[in-house]
Amino acid sequence: MPVPPAAPSVPVVDRPYRASVVALGKIGLPLAVQIAAAGHTVVGVDIDPRIVELVNAGRVPFPGEAGLEEALREVVAAGRLRATTDAADAVPGTQLVIAVPPLVVDDQGVPDWRAIDAVVEAIGPHLTDGVCFSLETTVPVGTTRERIAPRLEELSGLELGVELNVAFSPERVFSGRIFADLANYPKLVGGVTLACERRTAQLYREFLTADVREMGSAEAAELTKLVETTYREVNIALANEFARYADRAGIDLGPVIEAANSQPFSHVHRPGVAVGGHCIPVYPRFYLQGDPDAQLVAAARVVNETMPEHAIDLLARDIELAGARVLILGAAYRGGVRETAFSGVFPLVTGLRARGAEPFVVDPLYDDDALATLGLPAWDGAPVSGAILQADHAEYRNLLPTQVPGATSVIDGRGTLDAQALGNAGIRVRRIGGG
């Protein structure tokens, strides 16, 4: 990886400066607001005119982000944030361009580059001398140097590392508490050259109070995000292996993990019916693209993908599956979010059907039409023989017998169920890893 031998001196930045944030989604919009709230002037870019219109009216396009509504209203009213669909209107003359478009993947985790490429093509011709471009979308190692930087250099006509600075800075926040996370987690910046890194990091320091850490290369910053997420996938897989053993051996794993973790070197995660969402099932596959021989990472995915079947096996201990009506509680990949990417609901439906059962799905965040759109069989409300809790929605924490009429067995796939009411009604409750 070619990097200049000596780190350049700390660059001088204009205060306040002009910035542009491209893709005003759940991550990009709070980031744009954070920069504007620190006193800089921000023009946001999004291809969706509805989002642009709402942002310009000071209204949030999506619910659930703590503090965003008030902060957005304030920065828009102060004239420090506006939005546009046109990169030519936003990018020229800006010192910092941050892009965080989505990177969609297929069911094998293979990226569809269209959104990222479209951003590069749209902004490249409008970058001006001295600009710092930072990609925040999680990507396979090498993407910033090999895919992004050469094309930006070509489109802008600027010399990389001299007139054009390109860096990667992984987005590490959690939707819903982004401002708190931006304040608390170190911001990691890795440049295509050390000069790119220094200059870009300096601009981040102008709107963040958290430590801004220079990683030495774009690849180190890209890898850090993949390491964080792959660690979680492998750790959950380990907990899942322990759970499968505990269920065979008749040992309750819950207190075992709690006790093991009371010693500071042990950080075992919790077992569960499935690892879903846009991040944890996907980013280890990005890691494997760079390191295809990584056996542990590949094995973790395989182990985690067996867990829906394990939940079905636990149910089969109590009821005859052939011909049984089985209710799956939760279509979402986890509680409280309306998102089904890589959700365990899909393998549960397929797995139950393969055993001759008739699965039904219910979720407080999805009506029957929304479930049908996802290809999921909505529950008709008639009695069932058993149920599997797939998403830890708050509505299921104190599950009542009336929510699973007729069931004689319920599998708690998330370890979050208060089993008392069901137990009092004579319903058998089994937790994954519960022994």
Ligand X SMILES: NC(=O)c1ccc[n+]([C@@H]2O[C@H](COP(=O)([O-])OP(=O)(O)OC[C@H]3O[C@@H](n4cnc5c(N)ncnc54)[C@H](O)[C@@H]3O)[C@@H](O)[C@H]2O)c1
Binding site for ligand X (CB under 6 A): 22-28, 45-48, 51, 100-103, 115, 118-119, 137-138, 171, 174-175, 279
Q: Is 232 exposed, middle or buried (0-12, 13-18, 19+ CB in 10 A)?
A: middle
Nearer to ligand X, 282 or 399 (CB): 282
Q: Is 357 exposed, middle or buried (0-12, 13-18, 19+ CB in 10 A)?
A: buried
Nearer to ligand X, 341 or 421 (CB): 341
Please report how close the Cβ of residue 50 comes to ligand X at its closest, in angstroms: 9
Nearest to 388 by CA among 309, 310, 326: 326
Distance from the first to the final alpha carbon of the chain:
50
Give the separation between CA 424 and CA 410, rounded to whole angstroms.
Answer: 13
Nearer to ligand X, 336 or 377 (CB): 336
Nearer to ligand X, 58 or 401 (CB): 58
The strand order across the sheet containing 212-214 reads 81-84, 41-45, 18-22, 96-99, 131-135, 164-168, 187-191, 212-214
Nearest to 389 by CA among 347, 343, 327, 342: 327
Nearer to ligand X, 102 or 406 (CB): 102
Please report how close the Cβ of residue 279 comes to ligand X at its closest, in angstroms: 5
Please report how close the Cβ of residue 119 comes to ligand X at its closest, in angstroms: 5
Please report how close the Cβ of residue 337 comes to ligand X at its closest, in angstroms: 9
Please report how close the Cβ of residue 47 comes to ligand X at its closest, in angstroms: 4
Give the separation between CA 347 and CA 306, rounded to whole angstroms.
Answer: 9
E strands present in 131-238: 131-135, 164-168, 187-191, 212-214
Token pair recorded at residue 94: 């800006």
Nearer to ligand X, 174 or 245 (CB): 174
Nearer to ligand X, 48 or 163 (CB): 48
The contacts of residue 255 (CB under 8 Å, 6+ apart) are none
Contact 325, 357 (CB under 8 A): yes
Nearer to ligand X, 22 or 388 (CB): 22
Residue sitting closest to ligand X (CB): 25
Give the separation between CA 83 and CA 354, rounded to whole angstroms.
Answer: 50
Backbone angles phi, psi at 416, to 5 degrees: -120, 0
Please report how close the Cβ of residue 30 comes to ligand X at its closest, in angstroms: 9
Nearer to ligand X, 333 or 360 (CB): 333
Give the separation between CA 257 and CA 190, rounded to whole angstroms.
Answer: 36
Please report how close the Cβ of residue 400 comes to ligand X at its closest, in angstroms: 32
The contacts of residue 329 (CB under 8 Å, 6+ apart) are 362, 363, 387, 388, 389, 390, 391, 393, 396, 399, 403, 404
Please report how close the Cβ of residue 192 comes to ligand X at its closest, in angstroms: 19
Please report how close the Cβ of residue 53 comes to ligand X at its closest, in angstroms: 12
Nearer to ligand X, 25 or 58 (CB): 25
Please report how close the Cβ of residue 215 comes to ligand X at its closest, in angstroms: 17
Nearer to ligand X, 143 or 304 (CB): 143
Please report how close the Cβ of residue 218 comes to ligand X at its closest, in angstroms: 15
Amino acid at 208: L
The contacts of residue 263 (CB under 8 Å, 6+ apart) are none
Give the separation between CA 325 and CA 342, rounded to whole angstroms.
Answer: 24
3-state secondary structure of 410: strand
